[in-house]
Chains A and B, each alone.
Chain A
Amino acid sequence: MENFNYHRPASVDDAVKAATARPDAKYMSGGMTLIPTMKQGLASPSDIIDLGALKNSGISVGATVVIKAGTTHAEVAHSAEVRKAIPALAALAGGIGDPHVRNKGTIGGSVTNNDPAADYPSACLGLGATIHTNARKIRAEDFFTGMFSTALEDGEVITAVEFPIPRKAGYAKFPNPASRYAMVGVFVADTADGPRVAVTGAGAGVFRASALEAALGKGFDSASLTGTPVPAKDLNNDLHASAEYRAHLITVMAKRAVDAAK
């Protein structure tokens, strides 16, 4: 790991100022992704701007569920309010990594990183979430722009993620046997605008499975998905799973997510 300067601003404005002044600076929330990449030499920021002093964690549930960016996965998993409003979201958070990771890693860090195998992006896209930043609000559809990339501008900081409350939602994850990230993760939601199915782990980034959404349009029931194939084209093909296997698993996991939906 290379040396870096460390900052711990007390307000979002100070954080943004510190970052904008230094082109090679990086924000740090839980550090669960950033620090390993620095240790491996994949990132060597000149400055670390630790968001830990912003006091930006917390969950509020009203017409929507608003989770502040600094809220850890463990807090979401254990939140009685989230469990009641969107049980699938709490369950998803409870299945990320291991206890260490869940107690340090945050929703803001996770969506910013937009790892193609991360869990949260599927919930964001599956529920039609809105990402709040210091400057604006971005729809999930527009936020996730591809592998490890998002619509965030340089220095822009996420403050919260806002989730509409669906009638029902479910998440089923097929973990990569080694890393336990999602090899295929499917988030299904029965929303006011109809069924939504978001898939993570299988492609270059999170995406909606239109064939499955159409099938669920006939009835939000796993039986509706039987015999609905997902095209393998453009899916990931690696040591752990071929594109065909991933395509197969998307349908299987979608069914399981629908069956688990609450």
Chain B
Amino acid sequence: MDNGTGIGARVKRKEDHRFLTGKGNYTDDINLPRQTYAYFVRSPHAHATIKKIDTSTARTMPGVVGVFTGEDVAATKLGGLICGWMIHSKDGSPMKAGPHPILALGKVRYVGDHVAVVIAETREQAKAAAAAVDVEYGVLPHVVDVAEAMGHKAQVHDVAPDNRVYNWSIGDEAATDAAFKRAAHVTRIDLVNNRLIPNAMEPRAAIGYYDTGAEHYTLYTTSQNPHVARLVISAFHGLAPEHKLRVVAPDVGGGFGSKIFIYAEEVVCVWASKFVGGRPVKWTAERTESFLADAHGRDHVTHAEMATDASGKIIGFKVHTKAAMGAYLSTFSSCVPTYLYATLLSGQYNIPNIYAEVDALYTNTAPVDAYRGAGRPEATYVVERIVETAARELKMDPAEFRRKNFVTQFPHQTPVIMCYDAGDYAATLDKALEIADVKGFAARKAASAARGNFRGLGYSAYIEACGIAPSAAVGSLGAGVGLWESAEVRVNPVGTVEILTGSHSHGQGHETTFAQLVSDRLGIDINNVSIVHGDTDKVQFGMGTYGSRSGAVGMTAVAKALDKIEAKAKRIAAAVMESSPDDVEFRNGAFTVKGTDKKMAFGEVALSAYVAHKFNSAQIEPGLKESAFHDPSNFVFPAGVHIAEIEIDGDTGVTTVVNYTAVDDFGNVINPMIVEGQVHGGITQGIGQALAEGAVYDKESGQLLTGSYMDYQMPRAADVPSYKLGFTCTPCPSNPLGMKGCGEAGAIASPAAVMNAVTDALGVVDVPMPATPHVVWKQMRHLKKAAE
């Protein structure tokens, strides 16, 4: 309906006033009566046995109400943290998951590992007492570099003697080898996908509370999926059955994946409350803890080879990746470098033969798990860097090489599981070429050269699979959960509407976009719609928000429930207007009867539903409330072409992104302004990965060298240009709204675009990420020496 707040309108975000005026209600803003504070004792070593923990001094310190270690947890038989996706190796053996207790038992495996917790009246007292916990360690050899982890003398877990969690493969190896034998040309590349630290603006926090009277637990936590947290804490940790545990994720200040996972600290808080007399236990991470102990992202080392025939068609693609898992398998870590990664290795291209092998390896570092894009940025990086390199080697225009190999017929079954349902890749490429003024690039490059600078242009024709995911399909691949979504639509007697959704908003703007859908469908004012989420006591169930699924899956569930609302409202309207439901039409917020001037507004029907005076309640139940579950039938496949243009300062090695064009096909768009915001943020994160961010562990000491903003460079507003965006649209056929996902695309596409531009500028095959000024300067000096 065209009321200015429906689908496609640039509605300003309803939630922003609250956020921008400091009135958000984040976990750390919540304070419960009799609250205590937790502080964690963390490992200073990358790898060590715990010989002894002496808590006697800490216990006597002012304000201390409890000190707990792994032994105390074990005594209560609480289960450890789990990894919820079973991956089997090529040889059929299950992945080797080492134990992951919520407080270390016998051994620590990375700097920052959680060893003990001190609970006190104030945060300062807890921290002071934590410093007095005396832990005697026996230092062991460690390995922090994934490239060296396989078979390293430092063995992170007993179950994995060579540090290998699994050796997984996908695709047809023999057919791919045969294609390479026929190849006219083979392109080879070695790539490192740098480790990133998520850096959500709000650090993780939790308040655990055990009600000794009701024997009921409550956990407030910074989660992207509170129901999954409740499920895991109930079913796997065994803390309490689900009806005795409420999980609330109130306003959450950014997640980027890092708040999907179930972490030790939150489980400790809710567990420990019982042992400090049912007093609430609160913990808020210090920024240092976020650096050390939030799950990190990426950290792949890859060798890839691409075979082309004499006409420049890609005929085979082979990839081997070593993926760091860190010291423990985090909640969804195992699926990231497998089903979220290698299934996208076909890119936008018609590649008949693909084979990929992945070794997942333990390292003595923070666990690695999904981070904005999760596997798909890594896949795009490999595909788009090697495609660009192949084009250069074949002396073909990189855009035309891509075009020549694009998938053009849909549906398209790739050799790596995915079946692409819709797209028009040539259309996005054409639009991107135009917006980026690629024709004028040569002149701009010459002008840069005249200033002593290097200018480069790089493409990234990414595709990703999101709207995660068909439950039966992921179940057959090892997922421990289904990935549907649920929704409930409650229409109040006055015609206002509450939407209860299992999706969770932590920056995405659901309070606006979900309301737009309702405003569109029911023809009511957007301010008469509220979105309720993030509380297991309110929302029936939900799988949460990640993998750009809230639109395609979460909103589709809402749409289904709205269908039911409309159907019931029509029956009520028909009864009240004394006509047949078949003759009732609903448009622009009004029910009318065909061929008459009978009319009822939506609000009138809602009131009728609740007063129930004018219909036979033996035939129609009073009330107007419906729920729905939606299980998607396929992934959705956003795709696009991004073009980065960069300039390198010939004197200093500083790389500046001077132009950045993104043309994306997200299918139908609910709110273009919010979508553009998602794209901007994603591109910026990707530019951060390409040019700035990189988590570095010291090989010698195992310490995290980039443990604060003094050494870890986040991209800033001044580091990025004003982006040029464009959109094309092929509606998604697998959901009624025709939506794809937009939350991760920018971060998926941009590292490859930027690095293709950097390598183009310097005329080299590879420059490692992050291409900091120092890294680029070393490359320039190397080239200069080679030229001399």
A contact set with B: CB distance below 8 Å: 1, 174, 177-179, 239-242, 245, 248-249, 252
Contact = CB atoms under 8 A, between A and B. Distances in A.
Contact of A178 (B124, B651, B713): B713
A209 B30 CA distance: 56
Contacts of A252: 651-652
B711 A174 contact: no
A252 B711 CA distance: 23
Contact of A177 (B651, B696, B713): B713
A240 B711 CA distance: 8
B782 to A, nearest CB: 12
Contacts of B778: 242, 245
Contacts of A241: 773-774
Given A178-B709, A252-B651, A240 B777 contact: no
Contacts of A245: 774, 777-778
Chain B contact residues, majority secondary structure:
loop
Given A178-B706, A239-B696, A245-B777, 15 more contacts: A1-B124, A174-B652, A174-B773, A177-B713, A177-B772, A177-B773, A178-B692, A178-B710, A178-B712, A239-B711, A240-B711, A240-B772, A240-B774, A241-B773, A252-B651
B773 A239 contact: no
B709 A179 contact: yes
A161 B130 CA distance: 44
B446 interface: no
Contacts of A1: 124
A240 B705 CA distance: 11
A241 B772 CA distance: 10
A239 B124 CA distance: 32
Return the 3 tightest CB-CB contacts between A and B, nearest first: A178-B713, A179-B710, A177-B713
Contact of A239 (B651, B705, B709, B777): B705
Interface of B: 124, 651-652, 692, 696, 705-706, 709-713, 772-774, 777-778
Contact of B692 (A174, A177, A249): A177
A48 B695 CA distance: 36
A242 B652 CA distance: 13
Residue of A1, A239, A248, A252 most packed against chain B (CB within 10 A): A239
A179 B709 CA distance: 6
A178 B652 contact: no
A48 B167 CA distance: 59
Contacts of A239: 696, 705-706, 711
A17 B772 CA distance: 49
A95 B547 CA distance: 40
A191 to B, nearest CB: 26
A177 B711 CA distance: 8
B585 to A, nearest CB: 58
A157 to B, nearest CB: 28
Contacts of B773: 174, 177, 241
A145 B705 CA distance: 28
A248 B777 contact: yes
A178 to B, nearest CB: 4
A178 B774 contact: no
19 contacts: A1-B124, A174-B652, A177-B692, A177-B772, A177-B773, A178-B709, A178-B711, A178-B713, A179-B709, A179-B711, A239-B706, A240-B711, A240-B774, A242-B774, A242-B778, A245-B774, A245-B777, A245-B778, A248-B777
Contacts of A177: 692, 713, 772-773
A241 B774 CA distance: 6
A239 B696 CA distance: 9
Contacts of A240: 711, 772, 774
A249 B692 CA distance: 19
A109 B778 CA distance: 36
Contacts of A179: 709-711
Nearest to A1: B124
A225 B270 CA distance: 65
A178 B62 CA distance: 38
Contacts of A248: 777
A218 B683 CA distance: 48
Nearest to B709: A178
Contacts of A178: 692, 706, 709-713
A239 B652 CA distance: 17
B452 to A, nearest CB: 11
Nearest to B716: A180
Contacts of B706: 178, 239
A179 B705 CA distance: 14
Nearest to B719: A177
Contacts of B696: 239
Nearest to B698: A239
A144 B774 CA distance: 28
A252 B651 CA distance: 7
Contacts of B774: 240-242, 245
Contacts of B652: 174, 249, 252
Nearest to B714: A178
A178 B713 CA distance: 4
A235 to B, nearest CB: 13
A49 B772 CA distance: 41
A252 B736 CA distance: 59
Contacts of A249: 652
A252 B124 CA distance: 47
Nearest to B124: A1
A174 B777 CA distance: 14
B451 to A, nearest CB: 14
A241 B777 CA distance: 10
A178 B770 CA distance: 12
A242 B772 CA distance: 12
Nearest to B705: A239
